[in-house]
Amino acid sequence: MQLIIFSKMENIANQKEYRVLFVCLGNICRSPAAEGILKDMVSKAGLSNKISVDSAGTSGYHEGSLPDERMRKHGRMRGYDFCSLSRKFRSSDFDKFDIILVMDDSNYDKIMRLSPSVEDEKKVYRMADFLQHLSADHIPDPYYSGDEGFEFVLDLLEDACTGLFNKLRNGEL
């Protein structure tokens, strides 16, 4: 799957600012990959000062660890550097982020239970809802799969990140 390279916006000064957080179970496969992909898009569009990106996990099993080596390897093959350190999602993240994207229904349920208010619940989205060309109801965890599982997840994340980026760039979220 090829990524669309975005040109710089002519009027970046008027671009709305966003703080985006991706969430999966352990923060070592899906969410750091989504973080790296969106950061790459944002950087290429010259919007790093307008869109900040981070990731977290609903569990703290891998706190402080780099992303899974298999995900890093598959990311490198596509030109990405997935290098963020794993951390656990905290309810205070609702105060720090404007948009929280979860990878599956289990993540969604856990994050919604931590939401301090109805307003904060409105910040939570399912990543699969931003898919443009591929079809899936969630982003599957590739941890127990082979190379094809990691490649499939990266295909989904590139597609969904493109859809998300277009909405962010157009101020639609």
Look at residue 12 and tell me if it is in a domain. Answer: no
Give pLDDT, residue 56.
98
Catalytic residue ranges: 24, 30, 141
Look at residue 145 and tell me if it is in a domain. Answer: yes
Q: Above 60 in pLDDT, residue 82? A: yes
**158, 77 Cβ separation under 8 angstroms:** no
Residue owning tokens 């944002």: 42
Look at residue 8 and tell me if it is in a domain. Answer: no
**CA proximity to 169, closest of 1, 4, 3, 14:** 14
Q: Identify the domain containing residue 89 by its residue range.
A: 17-169
Q: Above 70 in pLDDT, residue 18? A: yes
**CA proximity to 169, closest of 62, 10, 54, 61:** 10
Number of domains the chain is built from:
1
d(CA 137, CA 103): 9
> Residue 54's beta-bridge partner residues?
21
Look at residue 28 and tell me if it is in a domain. Answer: yes
Give pLDDT, residue 14.
60
Look at residue 125 and tell me if it is in a domain. Answer: yes
Look at residue 6 and tell me if it is in a domain. Answer: no
Task: State the pLDDT confidence band at 99, using cuts at 50, 70 and 90.
Answer: very high
Look at residue 144 and tell me if it is in a domain. Answer: yes
Give pLDDT, residue 41.
97
Structural element, H or E, at residue 4: none
Give pLDDT, residue 16.
83
For residue range 126-160, what is the model confidence (pLDDT) as tens digits? 999 999 999 999 999 999 999 999 999 999 999 99
Look at residue 165 and tell me if it is in a domain. Answer: yes
17: tokens are: 């600012």
Order of strands, edge to edge, in the sheet holding 124-126? 51-57, 18-24, 99-102, 124-126
- CATH code of residue 116: 3.40.50.2300
For residue range 20-68, what is the model confidence (pLDDT) as tens digits? 999 999 999 999 999 999 999 999 999 999 999 999 999 999 999 999 9
Give pLDDT, residue 5.
43
Q: Above 70 in pLDDT, residue 6? A: no
